[in-house]
Amino acid sequence: MKPFSAQDLADATSGELYGIAPDAQLSAGVVTDSRDVSTGDIYVARRGDQRDGLDFAPAALAAGASLIVAEAVPTVDGEHLPTLVVQDATEALGRLARLNVEALREAGDLTVVAITGSAGKTTVKDLVGDLLSSAGETVWPPKSFNNEVGVPLTALRADESTRFLVLEMGARSIGNLTYLTSLVTPDVAVELMVGTAHSGVFGSIENTARAKAELVESLRPGGVAVLNADDPRVRAMADVLGEGVDVLWFSASGRTSVDGSDAPVVFAEGVVTAASGRPRFALHVPGADPADVELALVGEHHVSNALAAAAVAHSCGLSARSIVTTLATSGAASRWRMELIDSPSGITVLNDAYNANPDSMRSALKTLAAMGRGDEESPSRRTIAVIGEMLELGEESRQAHADIGELVVRLNIDRTVVVGEGARPAFQAAELEGSWGNEAVWVPTVAEARDLLKAELQPGDLVLFKSSNDVGLRFLGDEIAGVTVTS
């Protein structure tokens, strides 16, 4: 965070100071977990559903916090702790982020990149962070910090040395992105896709598109909208851009132009997926010769993610050569996203169970099939798909799972283990599609899936774990891979 006086923070949050001089200078980090406090940090004591952060204010002060931001003044032995009292601590956190970013923009050359979409946000955020860090100091979140807490915390990590600030922005309802962008207005806004993920929450895919469009509507004059030319709902967002905003398209399907638009396109040509699971293609960046690239990431769906990141880098002035070099070496930085692990027992695990929707499920299964077929450099392998429920699909859930069950048969996946009642239509559809014998099996719980896999898996097997986060298959994937299970 840029240095501010305590009074600056009070003015920004409409708060009142207690136990600290108004001219006291504060320039360390901002945290919402007292266990993360370092000397000089500001501790924002949010009131959560289960715990009240105010209860941990004494521990934060003992750990070295210089100021508590809270909705009441905490005390120790009758003494007031240095506090900025605000009406709502979460809202105050957002206002501090706005203060920091606006001050940094006035003082220097800061570019803010914001990324949204129904799938791929975290991967693209990590790729963009890697790409831009070669051109200047770059701040991006280490995890999926994409809500009203995570976005401000990331923005508050930026200081006078920061050249690029990369933000992942998620939406659970219409208005979420409007709020987040009111705190940190982007210079570059990336729209990855409008899929069926969370359609049960939004009510319809049309509402999902409406919510996602809020990001590009917020762009600053002179900003750039990086849009997926392969998604018709994203293409339509070009019609809601403000005056003075440019468009840069990206296309994994090889589109070289978009009807009704003369804006340039970053696109892929000749995409193939090797037995390693890593896609290869010719990358076309405006103004540069095509360049061959093999991604470090596993899965053909990452072609679109890589193109989105390349488009951001191009808009920020990076050369095509620099983009290709980084894409060829930038692997999965966040866990459980097409994470490829060779276990000590000789089993290879493809753990992609952090999130799931029909689009990402199809992509993961196609990658599993391609890796299992092998090539001249790699032998074929037995493929096992362990599939859990895709949550938040609403009325589309049964049909979406049934479609996946049909796909595993058509892809000739050797063994499919469907886990949980919500995913059961995938098993039923696999049987109807032509899965004979025991090629597909349904088990009601993760524990039963564990027992089945431990009894059946053999060295050389390739196993995909794919489900929504709350199903918990990612932890089973870790266990099978021999990785210490973490939360």
The DSSP symbol for 52 reads: B
What's the rounded Cα separation, in Å, for the pair 435 and 406?
9
Pair of tokens at residue 482 = 């021999």
What's the rounded Cα separation, in Å, for the pair 423 and 402?
9
Can you give the pTM of this predicted structure? 0.89
Distances (CA, A) of 19 to 66, 67, 82, 381: 11, 9, 4, 66
What's the rounded Cα separation, in Å, for the pair 152 and 480?
37
Q: Given this model, what pLDDT does residue 486 score?
A: 46
Q: Given this model, what pLDDT does residue 357 score?
A: 87
Bridge pairing between strands 79-80 and 4-5: unpaired
Numbers of helices and strands, H then E, in the chain: 16, 24
Q: Is the dihedral of CA 320, 323, 329, 331 positive or negative?
A: negative
Using CB atoms within 10 A of its CB, is residue 13 exposed (0-12), middle (13-18) or buried (19+)? buried
Q: Given this model, what pLDDT does residue 437 score?
A: 63
How many alpha carbons lie under 13 Å from residue 303 in its C-beta half-sphere? 29
Distances (CA, A) of 37 to 81, 109, 190, 372: 15, 29, 33, 47
How many alpha carbons lie under 13 Å from residue 389 in its C-beta half-sphere? 20
Could you tell me where in the chain the CATH 3.40.1390.10 domains are found? Answer: 4-87
Could you tell me where in the chain the CATH 3.90.190.20 domains are found? Answer: 339-481
**Domain 339-481 = CATH 3.40.50.12780:** no
283 in Cβ contact with 323 (< 8 Å): yes
Could you tell me where in the chain the CATH 3.40.1190.10 domains are found? Answer: 109-327
Class for the domain spanning 109-327 = alpha beta
The residue written with tokens 């009406």 in the block is 87
Cβ partners under 8 Å of residue 16, min gap 6: 10, 84, 85
Find the largest Cα–Cα distance for the chain: 76
pLDDT in tens, the chain (487 residues): 999 999 999 999 999 999 999 999 999 899 999 999 999 999 999 988 778 999 999 999 999 999 999 999 998 888 889 999 999 999 999 999 999 999 999 988 999 999 999 888 999 999 999 999 999 999 999 888 999 999 999 999 999 999 999 999 998 889 999 999 999 999 999 999 997 655 556 778 888 899 999 999 999 999 999 999 999 999 999 999 988 999 999 999 999 999 889 999 999 999 998 888 999 999 999 999 999 999 999 998 899 999 999 999 999 999 999 999 999 998 776 788 889 999 999 999 999 998 888 988 998 999 999 999 987 778 899 999 999 999 988 888 999 999 999 999 999 999 999 999 999 999 999 998 875 567 899 999 999 999 999 999 999 999 999 999 899 999 999 999 987 654 4
List strand residue ranges (DSSP E) for 41-177, in order: 42-44, 67-70, 75-76, 79-80, 83-85, 111-116, 138-139, 164-168
Bridge partners (DSSP) of residue 349 are: 341, 463
Query: Nearest CA to 399 among 360, 425, 417?
Result: 425
What's the rounded Cα separation, in Å, for the pair 193 and 113?
17
CATH of 4-87, one of 3.30.559.10, 1.10.10.10, 3.40.50.300, 3.40.1390.10: 3.40.1390.10
How many alpha carbons lie under 13 Å from residue 359 in its C-beta half-sphere? 17
* Residue 262 burial (CB count, 10 A): 7
What angle separates helix 320-327 from helix 302-315, to the nearest 10 degrees?
150
Bridge partners (DSSP) of residue 258 are: 261
Q: Given this model, what pLDDT does residue 487 score?
A: 45
